[in-house]
Structure 1
Amino acid sequence: MRSIGRFTAWATTLATAVGATIVIAGSPASADAGGYWAWQCDPGRACLHLSGGRAAPGGPYWNVNGCGPHQIGDYYDFAIARGNHFIVTYIDDRWDRVDAWTSRDLDPANLATNVWVFC
């Protein structure tokens, strides 16, 4: 078992690396053509908010178009379902479900790779 001091040092190093990755990424990764950037979550959309206070040229919200799977590749801290429920999948195969007409926090330090909108 690791000592508390060694564990704290390891956790600090990991948190610093994740934070640096988000900062180095700088501008948002491009998502597939199944959506658009905006300054708000538009009606009828599944929306993801970029983490780290970042914004794309169109805004910090990725508004997903249509049903089914959509490839993404960035870090998001918040999700809003202004219609159907959806699932956000992360690179480590964990996922978060956002129920219809709700919002929730996402894991801002975990790379989101896919959004599946259920219609």
Structure 2
Amino acid sequence: MRISSRIVTFTATVMSVGGLALASSSIASHAQAAAGGYWARGCDAGRACIELSGGRQGPGGPWWNVDGCGYHTINDHYRRGSAHGNGFDVIYADGRWDRVQPWSTRPLDPGNLVTSVNVLC
């Protein structure tokens, strides 16, 4: 009886620690995404934005609105870019890139994985 109770206690402890690790990694990844931008139904004023391809939606809409200037890591497929202010470069996994000029909207390569966006300020 004593050995089995130790096994149950050990298993419960391992599961509890594993659950805490999973929860903290989930919170960390969510906070990282929130720091770089936000999902919306459209491209907000003053933003560099990219729209998901294939009619897909993020938690708040299909448009990822980038926060701030400089380099931002991205990892998905997008069909359109819109610059409501500063222009930006969209960099693909195969090394190609597209530039979205200030105050313009243009199509992107929906079949090519976007790895980053560089907002030009």
Tell me the TM-score normalised to structure 1 length.
0.73
2:52 paired residue among 50, 54, 60: 50
Q: Distance in 2 between matches of 1:97 and 1:57?
A: 26
Q: Percent identity?
A: 60
The alignment's C-alpha RMSD in Å is 1.3
Letter of the 1:93 counterpart: G
2:66 is matched with which residue?
Answer: 64
Give the whole-Å Cα distance in 2 for the aligned partners of 1:44 and 1:72: 19
Structure 2 unmatched runs, 5+: 1-29
SS in structure 2 of the partner of residue 84 of structure 1? coil
* 2:119 is aligned with 1:113: no
- After the TM superposition, which segments of 4 or more aligned residues of structure 1 sit over 2 Å from their partners? 30-33
* 1:36-58 per-position Cα deviation (integer Å, ceiling 9, x unaligned): 00001000000000000000121
Find the aligned partners of 1:88 and 1:40 in 2 and give their Cα distance: 18
Which is helix-richer, 1 or 2? 2
Name the aligned partner's letter for residue 36 of structure 1: Y
AA of the residue aligned to 1:44 = G
The alignment of Structure 1 onto Structure 2 pairs a total of residues equal to 90
Equivalent in the alignment of 2:95: 93
The alignment partner of 1:107 has SS state of: coil
Structure number, greater radius of gyration: 2
TM-score norm. by structure 2 comes to: 0.72
